[in-house]
Chains A and B, each alone.
Chain A
Amino acid sequence: MNDSFLLDGEDIPFTPGQTVMQAAAAAGKYIPHLCWHPDFAAHGSCKLCTVKIGGRFATSCTVRAAAGQEVENRTDELDAKRRTLLQLLFVEGNHFCPSCEKSGDCALQATAYELGMLTPHFDHFYPDRPVDASHPDVLLEFNRCILCELCVRASRDVDGKNVFALAGRGTRSHLVVNSDTGRLADTDFAATDRAAAVCPVGVILKKRVGFAVPIGQRTYDRQPISAGLRADDKAGAGFGEAG
């Protein structure tokens, strides 16, 4: 098969069944995204990967690639929308990059740099999201959650544990933990779980390893997120081949 579509004017080959995102990643092309991860089924919720196909908006991580498609990706119009989406995510939670252990390894922060987001723009919501430090090895800092459900998917689909789920509705949506007490310590969660390493932001943090790599030398300090390296994939396979 040598089917292909155009991504910002460049020919991108794809195999039948691939999404636009998968095909672009395999070809080393960056479409901004947060909830998409090459190892997991697409979720389609962050909407950062919104592209235009034939003039219509589409979510590139869920839409199938088709021969001859003309896909707009890094246009001024789409990047402006993505900046707004990032700003919405920043004001919805409590994100204080300078004091965050994930700074430099955070996909939200790195994507904001990539897209030139200079201010949060909107009024902050300042939600009240208590921290769960009950687990001996892992801290849950819910203030930074962007509701991408990567931990939900990893725990369910890889670890087979269902430790996490999203509860609530609208802006009251929040991550919950699978125990009677609601505390992580009362689950079978382990620091070696895939779900412990998949968080794109600073919610799921391993204890006692804070700042092991100095800020300035971290994944996205060394190269922009558009270069394709994922912070959760230290092997550095990059783009679509991780895992």
Chain B
Amino acid sequence: MATAELEDILERHRRDPLQLLQILIELQAREGWLAPDTLSALAVALGMPRARVESTASFYSFLHTRPAGEYRILFSDNITDRMLGNMALMQALCDKLWLQPGKVSEDGLVSVATTSCTGMCDQGPALLANGRTVTRLTPERIDEMAHLIRRRVPVGDWPPEWFHVEDNIRRRDVLLDHGLAPGQALAVALDRGAMSILGEIERSALRGRGGAGFGSDIKWRSCRDAWGDAHYVICNADEGEPGTFKDRVLLSSYFDLVVDGMCIAGMAIGANKGFIYLRGEYRYLLDRLETRLAQRREQGLLGRNILGRGFTFDIEIHLGAGAYICGEESALIESLEGKPGKPRIRPPFPVTNGYRGQPTTVNNVETLALAALIAVRGGEWFRAIGTPASTGTKLLSVSGDVERPGIYEFPFGVSVAEVLEAAGARDTQAVTSAGAAGHCLAADEFGRRIAFEDVATGGSIMVFDASRDMFEVARNFAHFFAHESCGFCTPCRVGTAVNARLLDKLAADHGSPYDLDEIVKMHRLMQGASHCGLGNTATIAIDDMLAKFRPAFERRLHSPEYEPAFDLDAALSQARRMTGRDDPGAHLGDNRGALAEERAHAHGRATTTGVQGAPASAEPVSAKDLQP
């Protein structure tokens, strides 16, 4: 890279080591990858140890410390993408480009791999092409994409309709029908003052919409009361839970309300600075959001002396780079400080020791939008909606086997069955109520209610009809967590990997009841011993599925007794590939090893060595694929 370009990037980021992640993201956008020399030059320029630069560069999925091709194609690999046939499309693209998933083509032109859910579950299958979101993939689009790549057409010149992202709002309530002008809520809040707003938030009994449901007034008050040189507001837009996409819609179409909410939070806690931590998957929104922030500054709705009332508050947008763990608030703050997103030891909590060690409130996008609404309509009005313990409405991202996937705003207390009815779900077998990290409900539980006191959710509702194989859902989730574990603590780092291996063992027809017990055992270890919410929740859905859909797992058992994971016949597979033999004499034992291998090849399990690592069956998952 030309020194002048590097200098330009460094200057814009004030040569601040805390900006390291943002600098790396920009460098990679220009270079396609982060070469060793680039990391060394950066370490010198920022005056920090090179090893620490490498720590950050190697932590995030979207940063490449090895060449990854001029075109970097990442297929979203949530279970909903699988159900829409993403694996067959990925294989088709690889075939057309003469590639193996996870490997860079020999000419360095292109790589194709998978990535965690990109938040397009209502319009999948989806992928990221050099970080840009492409939705509604079809075999035709894949065909044309292969042509465009081979002809080296820049991603920016691909058909614009490919990049179109729909809101798909299906049910509006008080939030999505708010009817407020930009800045209106902020003006009311400035009239009323911080203490009055805190009072309204308290009266509203607003609880955090990320899923944990912590009382917003308590968070804001403890942050306000904490001593510090500066206070910060962070909008957590790292919407990474598989199956959720409601924050994407709020940012796309309700951004002013979110910004009003951030400004109000700033006023309430005494902050002059806010950050939006935008997940890398939503990079396509960045320019639009920056433009709107600039307009608001011109309109006196952001920056110095807002609305002429002497209140100063400005917002900076930081990008993530492919790390689910950064949705955890202390990991998010680490990432905001340019470091790997590993959760901090808590206490102390961010409200006292957050960004730069200062008092910081981290709120979900939806929570901030609701706070703006409450500032105008009042706490009593809000508390009349929903249930006594879960006030207001909740945005639900509904996807999977439904006629109308999209965003549904319901008052808390709505039953799962009502949500299914509204979305047009038929013959529903199971619902994951909080993404990959929450409980999985069976049909006899659909009368339960969406509320913190019953079915708590951050909003990800994935629906599975009777044709789906819940074993494959569990396996997809297990690989998701193995990929996303930050690696800090032993139980989560190794436990998620062991779980993924156990489910692969079952998928390869090598399982025994012993392995099912092992999955339960790992659940009991990880819940409690893990450092943060990721490890503590990583096995909840899998444990539920094992308990409620046991036949889907038992179908996979090879033997009623113990089965070793080591497969003599499979161990010979490399030798078979090298010698080009596959005759009976090249196999050991019965022929199931050969069958498993055949299946593995047909279904693209070669991707286990790939960048993203989740092995996959090639077709959409359904019961008919289970025939032996």
A binds B: yes
Q: Could you tell me which A residues sit within 8 Å of B by CB distance?
A: 42, 44-48, 50, 57, 59, 62, 81, 84-85, 88-89, 91-92, 122-123, 125, 146-147, 162-173, 176-180
**Smallest beta-carbon distance A19→chain B, Å:** 10
Q: List 26 A-B contacts (CB under 8 A).
A: A44-B345, A44-B489, A44-B531, A45-B488, A57-B529, A62-B345, A81-B529, A84-B521, A88-B490, A88-B494, A89-B494, A92-B493, A122-B498, A123-B501, A123-B565, A123-B566, A147-B493, A162-B51, A164-B51, A165-B49, A167-B55, A168-B487, A169-B323, A170-B483, A176-B55, A178-B49
Find the B residue at minimum CB distance from A85: B490
- Contact assessment for B55 and A50 in the assembled complex, using a CB-CB cutoff below 8 Å: no
- Contact assessment for A47 and B483 in the assembled complex, using a CB-CB cutoff below 8 Å: no
- Nearest first, the 4 A-B pairs at minimum CB distance are A173-B487, A165-B51, A178-B51, A88-B494
B516-533 toward A: CB 8 Å interface, digit per residue (1/0)?
A: 000001000100111100
Supply 12 further A-B pairs (C-beta < 8 A) apart from A59-B345, A146-B490, A173-B488. Answer: A45-B489, A81-B528, A88-B491, A92-B493, A162-B52, A166-B340, A167-B54, A168-B59, A168-B487, A171-B485, A173-B487, A180-B36
Question: Is B399's beta carbon under 8 Å from chain A?
Answer: no
- Contact assessment for B529 and A47 in the assembled complex, using a CB-CB cutoff below 8 Å: yes
When distances are taken between beta carbons in the complex, the residues of chain B under 8 Å from A47 are 489-491, 529-531
Question: Is B495's beta carbon under 8 Å from chain A?
Answer: yes
**Smallest beta-carbon distance B611→chain A, Å:** 11
**Smallest beta-carbon distance B368→chain A, Å:** 29
Count of chain B residues with a beta carbon within 8 Å of a chain A beta carbon: 41
Answer whether A169 and B529 are a contact pair too, CB < 8 Å, given A46-B490, A84-B521, A176-B51.
no
- Contact assessment for A91 and B494 in the assembled complex, using a CB-CB cutoff below 8 Å: yes
Complex CA–CA separation, A170 to B340 (angstroms): 12
Selected from B40, B50, B489, B493, the residue in CB contact (under 8 A) with A171 is: B493
Complex CA–CA separation, A91 to B565 (angstroms): 14
Complex CA–CA separation, A107 to B494 (angstroms): 19
- Contact assessment for A179 and B50 in the assembled complex, using a CB-CB cutoff below 8 Å: yes
Name the prevailing secondary structure of the B interface residues: helix
Complex CA–CA separation, A46 to B36 (angstroms): 31
Selected from B59, B495, B530, the residue in CB contact (under 8 A) with A167 is: B59
**Smallest beta-carbon distance B481→chain A, Å:** 9
- Contact assessment for B496 and A170 in the assembled complex, using a CB-CB cutoff below 8 Å: yes
Complex CA–CA separation, A84 to B498 (angstroms): 12
Find the B residue at minimum CB distance from A187: B51
When distances are taken between beta carbons in the complex, the residues of chain A under 8 Å from B521 are 84
**Smallest beta-carbon distance A224→chain B, Å:** 22
- Contact assessment for B497 and A169 in the assembled complex, using a CB-CB cutoff below 8 Å: no
B542-576 toward A: CB 8 Å interface, digit per residue (1/0)?
A: 00000000000000000000000110000000000
- Contact assessment for B498 and A88 in the assembled complex, using a CB-CB cutoff below 8 Å: yes
Complex CA–CA separation, A170 to B323 (angstroms): 11
When distances are taken between beta carbons in the complex, the residues of chain B under 8 Å from A173 are 487-488, 493
B496-517 toward A: CB 8 Å interface, digit per residue (1/0)?
A: 1110010000000000000000
Complex CA–CA separation, A181 to B529 (angstroms): 37
Selected from B486, B494, B529, the residue in CB contact (under 8 A) with A50 is: B529
Complex CA–CA separation, A226 to B135 (angstroms): 58
When distances are taken between beta carbons in the complex, the residues of chain A under 8 Å from B49 are 162, 165, 178
When distances are taken between beta carbons in the complex, the residues of chain A under 8 Å from B59 are 167-169
When distances are taken between beta carbons in the complex, the residues of chain A under 8 Å from B494 are 88-89, 91-92, 171
Question: Is B482's beta carbon under 8 Å from chain A?
Answer: yes
Q: Could you tell me which B residues sit within 8 Å of A by CB distance?
A: 36, 40, 49-52, 54-55, 57-61, 323, 340, 345, 482-491, 493-498, 501, 521, 525, 528-531, 565-566
Which residue, B59, B487, B496, has most C-beta atoms of chain A within 10 A?
A: B487
When distances are taken between beta carbons in the complex, the residues of chain B under 8 Å from A85 are 490-491, 525, 529
When distances are taken between beta carbons in the complex, the residues of chain A under 8 Å from B486 are 169-170
Find the A residue at minimum CB distance from B536: A57
When distances are taken between beta carbons in the complex, the residues of chain B under 8 Å from A48 are 490
Answer whether A169 and B340 are a contact pair too, CB < 8 Å, given A85-B491, A88-B495.
yes
**Smallest beta-carbon distance A181→chain B, Å:** 9
- Contact assessment for B490 and A168 in the assembled complex, using a CB-CB cutoff below 8 Å: no
Find the A residue at minimum CB distance from B484: A170
Complex CA–CA separation, A123 to B504 (angstroms): 13
Complex CA–CA separation, A74 to B494 (angstroms): 23
**Smallest beta-carbon distance A174→chain B, Å:** 9
Selected from A42, A45, A146, the residue in CB contact (under 8 A) with B531 is: A45
When distances are taken between beta carbons in the complex, the residues of chain B under 8 Å from A171 are 482, 485, 487, 493-494, 497
Find the A residue at minimum CB distance from B522: A84
**Smallest beta-carbon distance B572→chain A, Å:** 17
Complex CA–CA separation, A37 to B50 (angstroms): 26
Find the A residue at minimum CB distance from B483: A170
When distances are taken between beta carbons in the complex, the residues of chain B under 8 Å from A165 are 49, 51-52, 54-55
Selected from B40, B54, B487, the residue in CB contact (under 8 A) with A170 is: B487
**Smallest beta-carbon distance A238→chain B, Å:** 26
When distances are taken between beta carbons in the complex, the residues of chain A under 8 Å from B482 are 170-171
Which residue, A42, A123, A179, has most C-beta atoms of chain B within 10 A?
A: A123
Find the B residue at minimum CB distance from A168: B58
Complex CA–CA separation, A176 to B487 (angstroms): 15
Complex CA–CA separation, A173 to B492 (angstroms): 12
Complex CA–CA separation, A210 to B222 (angstroms): 55
When distances are taken between beta carbons in the complex, the residues of chain A under 8 Å from B50 are 178-180
**Smallest beta-carbon distance A54→chain B, Å:** 13
- Contact assessment for B497 and A170 in the assembled complex, using a CB-CB cutoff below 8 Å: yes
Complex CA–CA separation, A170 to B487 (angstroms): 4
- Contact assessment for A169 and B566 in the assembled complex, using a CB-CB cutoff below 8 Å: no
**Smallest beta-carbon distance A139→chain B, Å:** 19
Selected from A46, A169, A179, the residue in CB contact (under 8 A) with B58 is: A169
Answer whether A177 and B489 are a contact pair too, CB < 8 Å, given A84-B525, A92-B494, A169-B340.
no
Find the B residue at minimum CB distance from A84: B525
Complex CA–CA separation, A164 to B49 (angstroms): 9
When distances are taken between beta carbons in the complex, the residues of chain A under 8 Å from B565 are 123
Which residue, B51, B323, B485, B493, has most C-beta atoms of chain A within 10 A?
A: B51
When distances are taken between beta carbons in the complex, the residues of chain A under 8 Å from B497 are 92, 125, 170-171
